[in-house]
Structure formats: structure tokens, C-alpha cells
Amino acid sequence: MVYGSPNSLLRKKLFADLTANSPRIQPNWLVCGDFNSVTSREEVSNPDCFNNAKCADFKEWIFQEGLVDLDFEGPKFTWMRGINTNSFRAARLDRALSSVEWRLNFPNSVVKHLPIINSDHSPLLIDCTPRQQVNEERKFKFNMAWTTHVDFQGCVQQAWATDKELKENIQNVTAKLQIWNKTVFGNVFHRKKRLLARIKGIQRSLAQ
């Protein structure tokens, strides 16, 4: 994980340090993070502000080291700033670069640009393996967020019977909470997923 300073001299030092640990020494090599550099006009929201000379060192370093820019999913910009059309600025400052050998070992790998939440940068998720369907019974997992709901204790009390064995009570509470989660509390993970999808869609629209 790297961070490229906005200062051009410090960025050059970063590239030199990375070269010292480059694919020539460790062939199976991956580096990712905020490089604070772009490689083309298409990677900034305002092409008129693109400075080719400023990014020349970055492009030259990628070429000299023989690195592969991994494919990505999501909005094309990983950095955004501004509150309206006039002040909006965006660029693809974050990326993952690998050696050819690493890419051959993980041919299906992809970088996912996650929604920007608590920063002006998008987190990068590097998925190295394709997702496989696994058919197995889902185990019950207690969600601590349930305890914050005003109806939680009542739900447990209704399902718990003092004249029954512990094992049977646990089974009854488990079944009751699963139904209560869907009908009353609402699936917090699905709600979070929908909210992140909406944020991602907004940020994709801004990038366009």
C-alpha cells in the first residue's frame, strides 16, 4: 500500500523506493494505493487542467518496470471534491499495479472502486478470485444491532418459556428473531447494501 505525495520530488523518491523492491527482484509483485498521479486526460474530470509533463514520471516508471494496470469496476474516478458544478473536481488517483507474473497467477483479479463515504477517496477492493456459489445452510448469527430496537426484549420474552428446556428455548428464540428481523427490524445488511448502491450510483453519475 503506497501514498504518493503531491510534492513531485517526494513522488520521484517513492518511485525510486518502489523500484528497489520491484518485479525484477520479486517477480510476483503487486502495489496499490493513492499515487496522486494520472496517466491520461480521460482520468481527470476537467481535461483542460491535465498536465502531461506532471504525469510523465509516473507513466515512465510504469513502463520501465513493466507493470500492468489492473482492470477496475465502479466509477472511473477514485477522488472527488466539490459541492456543485463549478467546484467539482475528480480524478483517478488510486490504482493497483502488478507485475506480469502476478497478473498471470491471478488472471480474474479485478479492482473494485467502492463508494466514497468518510473521505474524498474511494477505497479499493482487490478481488483476486471469482466468487463461487456455495450451497450450504446459513447459520444463525446474532446481530448486536437488534438490542437497540425498542421491541427486541419483548420479542425474546414472547419466545422464551420458563417451563421448557434450554435447547428448545434457544431454538424458539432463534426462529422468532429470524422472523422479527425480516418483518420488524428490517435486514440491516440489505439496507446498508441498498444505501451504498445509491451512493455508488450518484458518484458514477457525477463522474460522467
The CATH number of residue 68's host domain is: 3.60.10.10
Pair 100, 65: CB distance under 8 Å: no
- pLDDT tens figures, 57-114: 888 899 888 899 998 998 889 999 887 778 888 999 999 999 888 988 888 889 999 9
The last residue of one of the domains, among 132, 155, 178, is 132
56 lies in the same domain as 72: yes
Which one, of 197, 21, 4, 9, lies nearest residue 94 by Cα?
4
Q: Per-residue confidence at 49, pLDDT binned at 50, 70, 90?
A: low
Sign of CA dihedral 27, 33, 36, 40: positive
Chain-wide mean pLDDT for the chain?
85
Pair 115, 83: CB distance under 8 Å: no
Q: Provide the residue range defining the domain that includes 149.
A: 136-208
pTM: 0.64
22 lies in the same domain as 36: yes
116 lies in the same domain as 146: no
How many independent structural domains does the chain possess? 2
- pLDDT tens figures, 137-154: 667 888 888 888 889 999
Which one, of 62, 73, 132, 68, lies nearest residue 104 by Cα?
68
Residues 195, 31: Cα–Cα separation, whole Å: 30
Q: How many CA atoms lie within 13 A of 184 on its CB side?
A: 16
Quick one: pLDDT at residue 157? 92
Vertex 39: Cα angle to 1 and 6 (nearest 5): 55
Q: Per-residue confidence at 35, pLDDT binned at 50, 70, 90?
A: very high
The last residue of one of the domains, among 113, 132, 151, is 132
Quick one: pLDDT at residue 55? 79
Span of 124-133, 165-174, 178-187 with lowest mean pLDDT: 124-133
128 lies in the same domain as 34: yes
Between 54 and 174, the higher pLDDT residue: 174
Percent with pLDDT over 70 in the chain: 91
The last residue of one of the domains, among 132, 160, 190, is 132
Inter-residue long-range contacts of 184-187, CB under 8 Å, 24+ positions, other chains counted:
184/149, 184/151, 184/155, 185/145, 185/146, 185/149, 185/151, 185/152
91 lies in the same domain as 22: yes
128 lies in the same domain as 142: no
36 lies in the same domain as 116: yes
- pLDDT tens figures, 172-189: 999 999 888 888 887 777
107 lies in the same domain as 200: no
Q: How many CA atoms lie within 13 A of 164 on its CB side?
A: 12
8 lies in the same domain as 80: yes
